[in-house]
Amino acid sequence: MGTILLIIQIVLFIYVTGTILMLLLFSFASLFTYTPPKAKDQVQREFVVLIPAYQEDEVIIEVVTDALKQQYPAEKFDVVVIADKFRPETIELLKMTKAIVLAKDFEISTKSRALKYAFEQLTGDYDVACILDADNLMAPDFLQQLNAAFSNGFIAVQGHRVAKNTNTNFAILDAISEEINNHIFRYGQRVLGFSSTLIGSAMAFDFSFFKEMIAEVEVVGGFDKEIEMRIFSKKMTIEYLPDALVYDEKVQNAQVFGKQRRRWLSAQFHFFGKNLLPSFKMMVRENNYEYFFKSLQYMQLPRILLLGLLFFLTFTSWIFNFYPWNLFWTFDFVLLILVFAFAIPGKFYTFRTLNAMWALPIGFMSMVGSLLRMHKANERFIHTKHTYNAFQIKKKRK
């Protein structure tokens, strides 16, 4: 029995330490400057801004009204709403705007199906497709910055998604989590020459490339992961624009937090299993190292679970004097704290954040529950409803 426990601890230590060292590398890299290349031409590309939305009657008018105010020639972009199961009165209000409204009640609602339907209906001659969530608000220069990035030949570009609300402890923690991911998996990776990962919104693609790709995609959860895996398998680069801001609603309570994370966890481990072997083969046969590396990233535990697990292991190993494991787990715990210290922006080092830390144990338990119930989360659509009205606060934009 003692031998089995020792083997379990060794395997767990290798897994946890490897995960932390990978996070630490990119977290430290994010302290350095990454500047996207300047525009190579002055061409103003034709954009279509796609907003797939499911029962988002409360926020969609605000989002569409805001999207139409871009500092980009009005004749050079269209805003398209794929309205799934909306109230008739909301559809009528949308039609009063300058947006293109594609109303359809899908039998099985997914983002991939909504986007596939949109591409089947669109007749415009577009260059770039930009994808937003139904709660996203673009900074006024967002399309301008995307236009500059596509002049450099990128096929996919991820914008910088930030919180538009920090009105509860969970919203603050969610906002911090978003920025940690931005610094590690997007900014830090670009500093070291790797591709950015995708988020699922505030992202844009070459129109023809994406139209062909989305026709083949059929997923319930993890739409962004399916797309990025296909891009990496083709040895293409995803650019990241740290100054191209899109404001996103953060979850405000434990119930929504748990439901959202259950969907994310399920998608993450699903795509790890789906891509590990194909990516390994492509690494061996075609030297496609990034595809394999990105597949390995999907086996990482979310940071809040990693933090809770390490706190438990460190605390218990010292209480029961499990030498030398108490030193090993303490070492890992300190490294993880450094990951957070490097990746969390200075604006979050406030008393409000300190107060929000009291919600961490609830968040950890919620994540544990999500982990235990995630086995069927990727088989059906789990919707996170948005209700936050950003017009109630003063938006800070660059």
Query: Higher model confidence: residue 190 or residue 372?
Result: 190
Please tell me the predicted confidence (pLDDT) of residue 208: 94
Please tell me the predicted confidence (pLDDT) of residue 261: 65
Q: Which helix (H) or strand (E) holds 131?
A: strand 128-131
- Paired tokens of 358: 């009291």
In the chain, where the domains are located:
7-31+265-378, 47-169+191-252
Is the distance from CB of 96 to CB of 107 less than 8 angstroms?
Answer: no
Average pLDDT, the chain: 87
Average pLDDT (325-345) is 94
Residues 6+ away with beta carbon under 8 Å from 392: none
Q: Say if residue 73 is exposed, middle or buried (CB neighbours under 10 Å; 0-12, 13-18, 19+).
A: exposed
Is the distance from CB of 242 to CB of 160 less than 8 angstroms?
Answer: yes
Instruction: Say whether 86 sits in a helix, a strand or coil.
Output: coil
Of 68, 38, 232, 34, residue with least CA distance to 150:
38
| Helix locations, 358-398, DSSP H | 360-372
Alpha-carbon distance 376 to 380, whole Å? 7
Please tell me the predicted confidence (pLDDT) of residue 65: 94
- For residue 336, pLDDT over 70 is answered with yes
- For residue 57, pLDDT over 70 is answered with yes
- For residue 172, pLDDT over 60 is answered with yes
What topology does CATH give the domain 47-169+191-252? Spore Coat Polysaccharide Biosynthesis Protein SpsA; Chain A (3.90.550)
Average pLDDT (264-290) is 86
Confidence at 34, pLDDT banded by 50, 70, 90: very high
Is the distance from CB of 328 to CB of 13 less than 8 angstroms?
Answer: yes
Bin 202: left if φ > 0, else alpha if -120 < ψ < 50, else beta: left
Please tell me the predicted confidence (pLDDT) of residue 175: 92
- For residue 385, pLDDT over 90 is answered with no
Percent of the chain at pLDDT exceeding 70: 88
Percent of the chain at pLDDT exceeding 90: 59
Minimum mean pLDDT range among 30-34, 43-47, 310-314: 310-314
Average pLDDT (102-128) is 89
Confidence at 260, pLDDT banded by 50, 70, 90: low
